[in-house]
Every structure is written in C-alpha cells, then in structure tokens.
Structure 1
Amino acid sequence: MASFTASSLSFSPVSCSFKQNQASSLRKASLSFSGKGFPSHRLPALRFRVACAAKPDTVNKVVEIVKKQLALPEDREVNGESKFATLGADSLDTVEIVMGLEEEFGIAVEEESAQSITTVQEAADLIEKLLEKKC
C-alpha cells in the first residue's frame, strides 16, 4: 500500500448524499494534487472525482418505465447496467422512454441528452441531475 503526503489539498463542493453502507455503490472517484509534497517521486497529477450514482428509488422507477414502454415481462431482469438496445429498444422506443421519464419526474430532457442515454443508469443519473437543477 502506498502512502502520500500532499502540501495542499482542495475539494470542489459536491452535492451528494448517501446513507451508511451505500458508499460501496460509488463508481468513480478522483483527487487532484498539484504535485507538491512528492519530492522523491515523479508522479503525474493524480485526480480524485466523486460521482454519485442515482438513488435506488430513481433507478427502480426508470426500470419500471422501461419495462412498461418496451412491454417486457415482469420476470425480465432489468437493472442499472441494462442497455436499451439489448432490451430491444429502437430509436423510437428510446424517445418514448424519455417521454415517459419526463412525465413521471416532471422534467424536460434536451434532445442532445436524450440521444446520449443508452442505459437505465445513465437515464437515472440524468434525471437526478435535472431534478437538482430544478431546485
């Protein structure tokens, strides 16, 4: 295990909340160091970024909407990693999914953002980002 000392450390404000024992669901992290405090090592700049995954309730609602829009059977396994295309969605289905999400969550998804959504998790993350902007 490596040990490092930084002479200065700064963090950007992050609006993320999670309950105890949910930290293991975090998928990304980055931390930036200026390079100072590492005199004996020539390390590239390290980055630490915290990206919080959408709340489980949001993911579950997205799963239900996707299942309904694609007329999937109740026993069909759909989770955050499920890709719309793998579930049988074409571009029209994806538009209908996005419309269902907009109606359910009271949001408006820009066309560019809608076209970039390929998984349930991406949809849930975008929803929470848009809901945060509304507040």
Structure 2
Amino acid sequence: MSSIAAPSVFVASWHRSTRRKNQDSRAAQAFISVPGTQRAVRASSRRVSCSAKPETVEKVSRIVKRQLALPDDAAVESSSNLAQLGADSLDTVEILMSLEEAFGISMDEGSAGRIVTVQDAADVIEKLASGRPS
C-alpha cells in the first residue's frame, strides 16, 4: 500500500492480485479522503496529478485579477473559474498570453484548451516549465 499525504487530502492506493482461469490480474484501487469528511471517494482513474506550487497559483491569481481589472478585495483562488470571474474568450486569450510572458513559456492549443480554472493554468505552467508534456 502506498499513500501520499497533503495538508488537505490523503490518497491511498494498493494492488489486489486475483486468479482467474490461470491468469494473474492486478486490480488497482485508489481512494481519496478529505479531512473533516465522513467518507472516502474511490477514484475512477489511475491518473494522479500533483497540484502546482502555491507561489505559482498566487502569481497566476494576480495575473488573472490584473487582466480582468478585478478589485483588490476580489477573491481569486485556485478553484476560481475564469468564465465565472467574467472572462470572455478574448479575455482568456489575453490572460494566457500574459501567463506565457510572465513564466517564459509557450502553450500549445491543447494545453490552453484545458485551462478552466486558476489551478488548471498553474498546473499547465509547471508542467511546461519543468519540461514534462502537458
């Protein structure tokens, strides 16, 4: 059994071997539990994604806030949806261009199309900055 602990999420996974008609199959299971809740959620995908560093999320939040001309007291968090913050398609393109310039990266159309929230943008930026495919 392996696990990863973070301040707000605990992830555990293990493999279960079964025998069927002389075949050994390994079924992987992953459970995610959030402290303060009464139940764990079984993950339906084996893909695990690490969140971006808090400083990356903060920088993305500042850029989004500036590009959308939001007031200083406006809450822009990692879970903030760009469209719900008032970004139309042109605003989103301008935000992405500002992020590329600020982080010294270049996003392809596929990566840019997956960005819906501030966290999505921060995750893509860190993958591109580290040289991993996004």
TM-score (norm 1): 0.69
Contact 1:25/1:53 (<8 A) preserved: no
Q: Write out aligned runs for 1:49-60 (5 A).
A: 50-60=48-58
CA drift of 1:112 comes to: 1.6
1:24 alignment partner in structure 2: 7
1:95 alignment partner in structure 2: 93
Q: What SS is found at the alignment partner of 2:13?
A: coil
Aligned residue type for 1:97? I
CA drift of 1:128 comes to: 0.6
CA drift of 1:51 comes to: 2.6
CA drift of 1:111 comes to: 1.1
CA drift of 1:131 comes to: 0.8
Contact 1:59/1:80 (<8 A) preserved: yes
Q: Deviations over 1:65-101 (max 9, x none)?
A: 0001100001001100000000000111111110000
Q: What SS is found at the alignment partner of 1:31?
A: strand
CA drift of 1:26 comes to: 4.8
Q: 2:15 aligns with which of 24, 30, 33?
A: 33
Structure 1 residues not aligned, in runs of 5+? 1-5, 10-21, 38-43
Structure whose residues are more often helix by fraction = 1
2:35 alignment partner in structure 1: none
1:13 alignment partner in structure 2: none
Q: 2:118 aligns with which of 113, 117, 120?
A: 120
Q: Evaluate the alpha carbon distance shift between residue 113 and residue 57 of structure 1 in structure 2; reply closer, same or farther with a 3 A threshold.
A: same
Percent identity for Structure 1 against Structure 2 = 53
Q: Evaluate the alpha carbon distance shift between residue 92 and residue 30 of structure 1 in structure 2; reply closer, same or farther with a 3 A threshold.
A: farther
CA–CA distance in structure 1, aligned partners of residues 16 and 93 of structure 2: 44
- Greater RCO structure (CA 8 Å; 6+ sep): 1
CA drift of 1:32 comes to: 5.1
CA drift of 1:116 comes to: 1.5
2:27 alignment partner in structure 1: 45
CA–CA distance in structure 1, aligned partners of residues 70 and 78 of structure 2: 16
2:36 alignment partner in structure 1: none
CA–CA distance in structure 2, aligned partners of residues 133 and 26 of structure 1: 26
TM-score (norm 2): 0.70
Structure whose residues are more often strand by fraction = 2
CA–CA distance in structure 2, aligned partners of residues 36 and 59 of structure 1: 42
